[in-house]
Amino acid sequence: MTGFALGAEQEEWCGQLRALAADRLRPLADKGEPGRVNRPLLAALGELGLLERVFTSGALELCLLRESLAYGCTEAETALALQGLGAHPVLRSGTPRQRAHWLPQVRAGRAVAAFALSEPGAGSDAAALALEAVRDGGGEAGGGWRLSGEKCWISNAPEADFYTVFARTGEGPAAKGVTAFLVPADRPGLSGEPLDMLSPHPIGRLSFDGVPVGPQDLLGEPGRGFRVAMDTLNLFRPSVGAFAVGMARAALDATLAHTAARRAFGGVLGDLQAVGHRVAEMATRTEAARLLVYAAAGAYDAGSADVPRRSAMAKLLATETAQYVVDHAVQLHGAVALQRGHLLEHLYREVRAPRIYEGASEVQRTIIAKELYR
Protein backbone atom coordinates (compact mmCIF):
# COMPACT_ATOMS: atom_id res chain seq x y z
CA MET A 1 0.00 0.00 0.00
CA THR A 2 1.15 3.54 -0.81
CA GLY A 3 -0.02 6.57 1.12
CA PHE A 4 -2.88 6.97 -1.35
CA ALA A 5 -4.00 3.57 -2.65
CA LEU A 6 -4.27 -0.08 -1.74
CA GLY A 7 -2.30 -2.71 -3.56
CA ALA A 8 -3.95 -5.01 -6.10
CA GLU A 9 -4.03 -7.95 -3.67
CA GLN A 10 -5.61 -5.82 -0.95
CA GLU A 11 -8.25 -4.51 -3.36
CA GLU A 12 -9.04 -8.06 -4.47
CA TRP A 13 -9.33 -9.26 -0.87
CA CYS A 14 -11.68 -6.39 0.01
CA GLY A 15 -13.83 -7.22 -3.00
CA GLN A 16 -14.03 -10.85 -1.92
CA LEU A 17 -15.03 -9.78 1.59
CA ARG A 18 -17.78 -7.49 0.29
CA ALA A 19 -19.19 -10.33 -1.81
CA LEU A 20 -18.90 -12.77 1.09
CA ALA A 21 -20.73 -10.37 3.39
CA ALA A 22 -23.58 -9.91 0.93
CA ASP A 23 -23.93 -13.53 -0.19
CA ARG A 24 -23.07 -15.64 2.86
CA LEU A 25 -23.44 -13.44 5.93
CA ARG A 26 -26.35 -11.16 5.04
CA PRO A 27 -28.86 -14.08 4.95
CA LEU A 28 -27.73 -15.22 8.42
CA ALA A 29 -28.00 -11.67 9.73
CA ASP A 30 -31.53 -11.35 8.37
CA LYS A 31 -32.57 -14.44 10.34
CA GLY A 32 -31.27 -13.00 13.60
CA GLU A 33 -33.39 -11.41 16.29
CA PRO A 34 -32.65 -7.70 16.90
CA GLY A 35 -31.11 -7.12 20.29
CA ARG A 36 -29.88 -10.69 20.65
CA VAL A 37 -26.50 -12.31 19.96
CA ASN A 38 -26.68 -14.02 16.57
CA ARG A 39 -24.73 -17.18 17.34
CA PRO A 40 -25.17 -18.78 13.88
CA LEU A 41 -23.66 -15.62 12.38
CA LEU A 42 -20.76 -15.77 14.84
CA ALA A 43 -20.21 -19.44 14.01
CA ALA A 44 -20.07 -18.58 10.31
CA LEU A 45 -17.51 -15.85 10.96
CA GLY A 46 -15.47 -18.47 12.78
CA GLU A 47 -15.82 -21.11 10.06
CA LEU A 48 -14.76 -18.62 7.40
CA GLY A 49 -11.62 -17.76 9.37
CA LEU A 50 -12.60 -14.11 9.76
CA LEU A 51 -12.57 -14.10 13.56
CA GLU A 52 -9.07 -15.54 13.42
CA ARG A 53 -8.01 -12.55 11.31
CA VAL A 54 -9.10 -10.17 14.08
CA PHE A 55 -6.38 -11.58 16.33
CA THR A 56 -3.63 -12.11 13.76
CA SER A 57 -4.00 -8.97 11.64
CA GLY A 58 -2.32 -5.64 12.00
CA ALA A 59 -4.40 -2.49 12.40
CA LEU A 60 -4.58 -1.78 8.66
CA GLU A 61 -5.78 -5.27 7.79
CA LEU A 62 -8.33 -5.06 10.60
CA CYS A 63 -9.59 -1.79 9.10
CA LEU A 64 -9.91 -3.32 5.64
CA LEU A 65 -11.76 -6.28 7.13
CA ARG A 66 -14.22 -4.14 9.06
CA GLU A 67 -14.79 -1.68 6.21
CA SER A 68 -15.47 -4.45 3.70
CA LEU A 69 -17.84 -6.38 5.96
CA ALA A 70 -19.69 -3.17 6.89
CA TYR A 71 -20.29 -2.46 3.20
CA GLY A 72 -22.21 -5.71 2.76
CA CYS A 73 -23.47 -6.65 6.23
CA THR A 74 -23.20 -4.33 9.20
CA GLU A 75 -24.41 -7.01 11.61
CA ALA A 76 -21.54 -9.31 10.63
CA GLU A 77 -19.06 -6.46 11.01
CA THR A 78 -20.35 -5.60 14.46
CA ALA A 79 -20.40 -9.20 15.66
CA LEU A 80 -16.79 -9.61 14.54
CA ALA A 81 -15.66 -6.32 16.06
CA LEU A 82 -17.24 -7.01 19.44
CA GLN A 83 -15.45 -10.36 19.64
CA GLY A 84 -12.18 -8.53 19.03
CA LEU A 85 -12.91 -5.72 21.46
CA GLY A 86 -13.88 -8.08 24.28
CA ALA A 87 -11.06 -10.58 23.75
CA HIS A 88 -8.16 -8.36 22.68
CA PRO A 89 -7.22 -7.65 26.33
CA VAL A 90 -7.01 -11.42 26.85
CA LEU A 91 -4.72 -11.75 23.82
CA ARG A 92 -2.43 -8.93 24.92
CA SER A 93 -2.55 -9.14 28.73
CA GLY A 94 -4.03 -12.51 29.64
CA THR A 95 -2.23 -15.42 31.24
CA PRO A 96 -1.32 -18.48 29.12
CA ARG A 97 -4.16 -20.35 30.81
CA GLN A 98 -6.70 -17.62 30.04
CA ARG A 99 -5.60 -17.42 26.42
CA ALA A 100 -5.62 -21.20 25.98
CA HIS A 101 -9.13 -21.52 27.43
CA TRP A 102 -10.94 -18.57 25.87
CA LEU A 103 -9.29 -17.48 22.61
CA PRO A 104 -9.89 -20.70 20.61
CA GLN A 105 -13.57 -20.49 21.53
CA VAL A 106 -13.77 -16.82 20.58
CA ARG A 107 -12.01 -17.45 17.26
CA ALA A 108 -14.44 -20.27 16.48
CA GLY A 109 -17.47 -18.14 17.35
CA ARG A 110 -18.49 -20.46 20.18
CA ALA A 111 -17.80 -18.06 23.08
CA VAL A 112 -19.14 -14.51 23.10
CA ALA A 113 -16.84 -11.81 24.48
CA ALA A 114 -17.68 -8.37 25.88
CA PHE A 115 -15.70 -5.26 26.86
CA ALA A 116 -17.17 -3.93 30.12
CA LEU A 117 -15.79 -0.43 30.69
CA SER A 118 -18.71 2.05 30.73
CA GLU A 119 -20.78 2.72 33.83
CA PRO A 120 -23.90 4.79 34.59
CA GLY A 121 -21.69 7.63 35.82
CA ALA A 122 -18.53 6.94 33.83
CA GLY A 123 -19.01 6.68 30.10
CA SER A 124 -16.62 8.94 28.25
CA ASP A 125 -14.60 9.67 31.43
CA ALA A 126 -13.25 6.14 31.76
CA ALA A 127 -10.88 7.14 34.55
CA ALA A 128 -13.89 7.96 36.76
CA LEU A 129 -14.90 4.32 37.19
CA ALA A 130 -16.82 3.48 40.35
CA LEU A 131 -17.05 -0.33 40.13
CA GLU A 132 -15.17 -1.27 43.28
CA ALA A 133 -12.84 -4.21 43.80
CA VAL A 134 -12.36 -4.74 47.53
CA ARG A 135 -9.71 -7.10 48.84
CA ASP A 136 -11.19 -10.39 50.00
CA GLY A 137 -9.97 -12.17 53.10
CA GLY A 138 -8.97 -9.25 55.26
CA GLY A 139 -7.14 -7.23 52.65
CA GLU A 140 -4.22 -9.60 52.20
CA ALA A 141 -2.08 -8.73 49.17
CA GLY A 142 -1.97 -11.63 46.77
CA GLY A 143 -5.49 -12.72 47.67
CA GLY A 144 -8.71 -12.07 45.80
CA TRP A 145 -11.22 -9.25 45.44
CA ARG A 146 -14.98 -8.77 45.51
CA LEU A 147 -16.51 -6.66 42.72
CA SER A 148 -19.45 -4.45 43.64
CA GLY A 149 -21.25 -1.95 41.43
CA GLU A 150 -22.66 -1.64 37.92
CA LYS A 151 -21.62 -1.53 34.30
CA CYS A 152 -23.96 -0.02 31.72
CA TRP A 153 -24.29 0.18 27.92
CA ILE A 154 -22.17 -2.94 27.50
CA SER A 155 -22.37 -4.49 24.03
CA ASN A 156 -23.20 -8.22 24.06
CA ALA A 157 -24.43 -7.99 27.67
CA PRO A 158 -26.10 -9.84 29.23
CA GLU A 159 -25.56 -12.67 26.72
CA ALA A 160 -21.75 -12.79 26.65
CA ASP A 161 -19.89 -15.82 27.97
CA PHE A 162 -17.18 -13.70 29.58
CA TYR A 163 -16.45 -10.03 30.24
CA THR A 164 -13.29 -7.97 30.29
CA VAL A 165 -14.13 -5.88 33.36
CA PHE A 166 -12.39 -2.74 34.60
CA ALA A 167 -12.69 -2.00 38.33
CA ARG A 168 -11.19 0.37 40.87
CA THR A 169 -8.65 -1.39 43.12
CA GLY A 170 -7.26 1.82 44.57
CA GLU A 171 -3.50 1.60 43.96
CA GLY A 172 -3.61 5.28 43.03
CA PRO A 173 -5.98 8.11 42.05
CA ALA A 174 -8.06 8.16 38.85
CA ALA A 175 -6.62 5.96 36.10
CA LYS A 176 -3.76 4.70 38.29
CA GLY A 177 -6.12 2.73 40.51
CA VAL A 178 -7.94 0.69 37.83
CA THR A 179 -7.43 -3.05 37.30
CA ALA A 180 -8.66 -5.30 34.48
CA PHE A 181 -10.22 -8.70 35.20
CA LEU A 182 -11.54 -11.56 33.08
CA VAL A 183 -14.93 -12.46 34.57
CA PRO A 184 -16.87 -15.49 33.26
CA ALA A 185 -20.59 -14.87 32.95
CA ASP A 186 -21.47 -17.65 35.38
CA ARG A 187 -19.50 -16.14 38.26
CA PRO A 188 -21.65 -15.93 41.46
CA GLY A 189 -23.08 -12.46 42.10
CA LEU A 190 -22.98 -11.39 38.44
CA SER A 191 -26.32 -10.64 36.81
CA GLY A 192 -27.51 -8.55 33.91
CA GLU A 193 -30.46 -7.22 31.99
CA PRO A 194 -30.91 -6.09 28.39
CA LEU A 195 -31.49 -2.44 27.53
CA ASP A 196 -33.95 -1.42 24.82
CA MET A 197 -31.56 0.51 22.58
CA LEU A 198 -31.40 1.78 19.00
CA SER A 199 -29.11 -1.11 18.12
CA PRO A 200 -29.39 -4.46 16.31
CA HIS A 201 -26.98 -6.15 18.72
CA PRO A 202 -27.54 -6.65 22.47
CA ILE A 203 -26.60 -3.87 24.85
CA GLY A 204 -27.17 -4.32 28.54
CA ARG A 205 -26.52 -3.49 32.16
CA LEU A 206 -24.42 -5.68 34.47
CA SER A 207 -24.76 -5.82 38.26
CA PHE A 208 -21.88 -7.00 40.47
CA ASP A 209 -22.96 -8.10 43.92
CA GLY A 210 -19.72 -9.13 45.58
CA VAL A 211 -18.51 -11.05 42.53
CA PRO A 212 -15.37 -13.00 43.52
CA VAL A 213 -12.23 -12.61 41.40
CA GLY A 214 -8.72 -13.75 42.13
CA PRO A 215 -5.16 -13.39 40.85
CA GLN A 216 -5.95 -15.98 38.17
CA ASP A 217 -8.56 -13.56 36.75
CA LEU A 218 -6.21 -10.59 36.37
CA LEU A 219 -5.55 -9.16 32.92
CA GLY A 220 -2.16 -7.57 33.42
CA GLU A 221 -1.06 -6.14 36.74
CA PRO A 222 -3.14 -4.58 39.53
CA GLY A 223 -3.48 -0.84 39.00
CA ARG A 224 -2.51 -1.11 35.31
CA GLY A 225 -5.95 -1.81 33.90
CA PHE A 226 -6.42 1.61 32.34
CA ARG A 227 -3.43 0.90 30.12
CA VAL A 228 -5.07 -2.38 29.07
CA ALA A 229 -8.22 -0.47 28.12
CA MET A 230 -6.38 2.25 26.20
CA ASP A 231 -4.21 -0.29 24.36
CA THR A 232 -7.41 -1.93 23.13
CA LEU A 233 -9.12 1.34 22.22
CA ASN A 234 -6.10 2.72 20.36
CA LEU A 235 -6.24 -0.34 18.09
CA PHE A 236 -10.00 -0.42 17.64
CA ARG A 237 -10.74 3.31 17.28
CA PRO A 238 -9.32 3.51 13.73
CA SER A 239 -11.27 0.38 12.85
CA VAL A 240 -14.47 1.99 14.21
CA GLY A 241 -13.65 4.62 11.61
CA ALA A 242 -13.29 1.84 9.03
CA PHE A 243 -16.74 0.54 9.99
CA ALA A 244 -18.09 4.05 9.40
CA VAL A 245 -16.28 4.34 6.05
CA GLY A 246 -17.82 1.04 4.95
CA MET A 247 -21.30 2.37 5.70
CA ALA A 248 -20.54 5.67 3.97
CA ARG A 249 -19.29 3.90 0.84
CA ALA A 250 -22.39 1.70 0.73
CA ALA A 251 -24.64 4.77 1.05
CA LEU A 252 -22.63 6.65 -1.57
CA ASP A 253 -22.79 3.80 -4.10
CA ALA A 254 -26.54 3.43 -3.54
CA THR A 255 -26.93 7.18 -4.11
CA LEU A 256 -24.92 7.13 -7.31
CA ALA A 257 -27.06 4.30 -8.70
CA HIS A 258 -30.29 5.97 -7.64
CA THR A 259 -29.51 9.47 -8.92
CA ALA A 260 -28.19 8.11 -12.23
CA ALA A 261 -31.45 6.25 -12.90
CA ARG A 262 -34.20 8.23 -11.17
CA ARG A 263 -36.00 10.43 -13.69
CA ALA A 264 -37.15 13.87 -12.60
CA PHE A 265 -37.61 17.31 -14.13
CA GLY A 266 -37.01 16.15 -17.69
CA GLY A 267 -33.82 14.16 -16.98
CA VAL A 268 -32.23 12.16 -14.20
CA LEU A 269 -31.52 13.47 -10.73
CA GLY A 270 -27.78 13.33 -11.30
CA ASP A 271 -28.10 15.94 -14.07
CA LEU A 272 -29.21 18.55 -11.54
CA GLN A 273 -26.25 20.62 -10.37
CA ALA A 274 -27.49 20.69 -6.78
CA VAL A 275 -27.60 16.90 -6.73
CA GLY A 276 -24.27 16.46 -8.49
CA HIS A 277 -22.55 18.84 -6.11
CA ARG A 278 -24.08 17.08 -3.10
CA VAL A 279 -22.85 13.71 -4.32
CA ALA A 280 -19.41 15.17 -5.02
CA GLU A 281 -19.22 16.42 -1.43
CA MET A 282 -20.31 13.04 -0.09
CA ALA A 283 -17.62 11.29 -2.14
CA THR A 284 -14.89 13.74 -1.16
CA ARG A 285 -15.61 13.48 2.55
CA THR A 286 -15.75 9.68 2.35
CA GLU A 287 -12.40 9.52 0.59
CA ALA A 288 -10.80 11.88 3.12
CA ALA A 289 -12.10 9.76 6.00
CA ARG A 290 -10.87 6.56 4.35
CA LEU A 291 -7.36 7.94 3.93
CA LEU A 292 -7.20 9.21 7.51
CA VAL A 293 -8.34 5.81 8.82
CA TYR A 294 -5.66 4.03 6.78
CA ALA A 295 -3.02 6.51 7.96
CA ALA A 296 -3.95 5.96 11.60
CA ALA A 297 -3.85 2.19 11.15
CA GLY A 298 -0.47 2.46 9.44
CA ALA A 299 0.85 4.53 12.34
CA TYR A 300 -0.33 1.87 14.80
CA ASP A 301 1.35 -0.89 12.81
CA ALA A 302 4.56 1.13 12.65
CA GLY A 303 4.59 1.71 16.41
CA SER A 304 4.43 5.49 16.03
CA ALA A 305 4.32 7.64 19.15
CA ASP A 306 1.36 9.67 17.88
CA VAL A 307 -1.11 6.76 17.69
CA PRO A 308 -3.57 8.22 20.27
CA ARG A 309 -3.91 11.45 18.27
CA ARG A 310 -4.16 9.72 14.90
CA SER A 311 -6.65 7.14 16.21
CA ALA A 312 -8.84 9.86 17.67
CA MET A 313 -8.70 11.90 14.45
CA ALA A 314 -9.62 8.88 12.34
CA LYS A 315 -12.51 7.84 14.57
CA LEU A 316 -13.81 11.42 14.78
CA LEU A 317 -13.70 12.27 11.08
CA ALA A 318 -14.94 8.91 9.82
CA THR A 319 -17.94 8.61 12.13
CA GLU A 320 -19.00 12.23 11.59
CA THR A 321 -18.56 11.78 7.84
CA ALA A 322 -20.63 8.61 7.76
CA GLN A 323 -23.47 10.42 9.54
CA TYR A 324 -23.31 13.20 6.93
CA VAL A 325 -23.17 10.84 3.96
CA VAL A 326 -25.96 8.53 5.09
CA ASP A 327 -28.20 11.47 6.00
CA HIS A 328 -27.77 13.08 2.58
CA ALA A 329 -28.18 9.72 0.88
CA VAL A 330 -31.59 9.40 2.54
CA GLN A 331 -32.48 12.93 1.43
CA LEU A 332 -31.56 12.26 -2.19
CA HIS A 333 -33.50 8.99 -2.24
CA GLY A 334 -36.63 10.54 -0.77
CA ALA A 335 -39.41 8.59 0.91
CA VAL A 336 -38.30 5.21 -0.44
CA ALA A 337 -35.25 5.34 1.84
CA LEU A 338 -37.49 5.50 4.90
CA GLN A 339 -39.20 2.19 4.16
CA ARG A 340 -38.45 -0.50 6.71
CA GLY A 341 -35.91 -2.89 5.22
CA HIS A 342 -34.40 -0.41 2.75
CA LEU A 343 -30.60 -0.31 2.84
CA LEU A 344 -30.56 3.36 3.79
CA GLU A 345 -33.21 2.95 6.48
CA HIS A 346 -30.95 0.29 7.96
CA LEU A 347 -27.81 2.42 7.66
CA TYR A 348 -29.58 5.45 9.10
CA ARG A 349 -30.25 3.50 12.30
CA GLU A 350 -26.77 1.96 12.37
CA VAL A 351 -24.74 5.09 11.71
CA ARG A 352 -25.68 7.08 14.81
CA ALA A 353 -24.13 4.98 17.57
CA PRO A 354 -20.46 5.02 16.40
CA ARG A 355 -20.30 8.76 17.11
CA ILE A 356 -20.81 7.85 20.79
CA TYR A 357 -19.24 4.49 21.60
CA GLU A 358 -15.52 3.94 22.21
CA GLY A 359 -15.36 7.63 23.08
CA ALA A 360 -17.87 10.20 21.82
CA SER A 361 -16.83 12.74 19.19
CA GLU A 362 -16.32 15.34 21.91
CA VAL A 363 -13.93 13.01 23.72
CA GLN A 364 -11.97 12.46 20.52
CA ARG A 365 -11.58 16.22 20.14
CA THR A 366 -10.34 16.44 23.74
CA ILE A 367 -7.78 13.70 23.09
CA ILE A 368 -6.59 15.41 19.92
CA ALA A 369 -6.22 18.77 21.67
CA LYS A 370 -4.29 17.26 24.60
CA GLU A 371 -1.95 15.45 22.25
CA LEU A 372 -1.34 18.59 20.21
CA TYR A 373 -0.50 20.64 23.32
CA ARG A 374 1.57 17.90 24.93
CA atoms within 13 A on the CB side of 16: 8
Is the preceding peptide bond at 184 cis, omega within 30 degrees of 0? Answer: no
Judged on CB neighbours under 10 Å (0-12, 13-18, 19+), 243 is: buried
Q: What angle do CA 361, 358, 237 make, to 5 degrees?
A: 85
Beta-carbon contacts of 248 under 8 Å, excluding residues fewer than 6 positions away, are 282, 285, 286, 289, 318, 321, 322, 325, 326
Q: Tell me whether residue 358 is one of the annotated catalytic residues.
A: yes
| Dist CA 357 CA 363 (whole Å) | 10
SS3 203: strand
Radius of gyration (Cα) for the chain, nearest Å?
Answer: 21
Q: Given 67, 75, 77, 358, which residue is catalytic? A: 358
Please name which of 369, 345, 342, 365 lies closest in space to residue 355, comparing C-alpha atoms.
365
Conformational region of residue 293, where left means phi above 0, alpha means psi within -120 to 50, and beta covers everything else: alpha
Dist. CA 319–CA 247, nearest whole Å: 10
Q: Which amino acid is at 289?
A: A
Which residues lie below 8 Å from residue 294, measured CB to CB, with a gap of 6+? 1, 60, 63
- Give the active site residues: 358
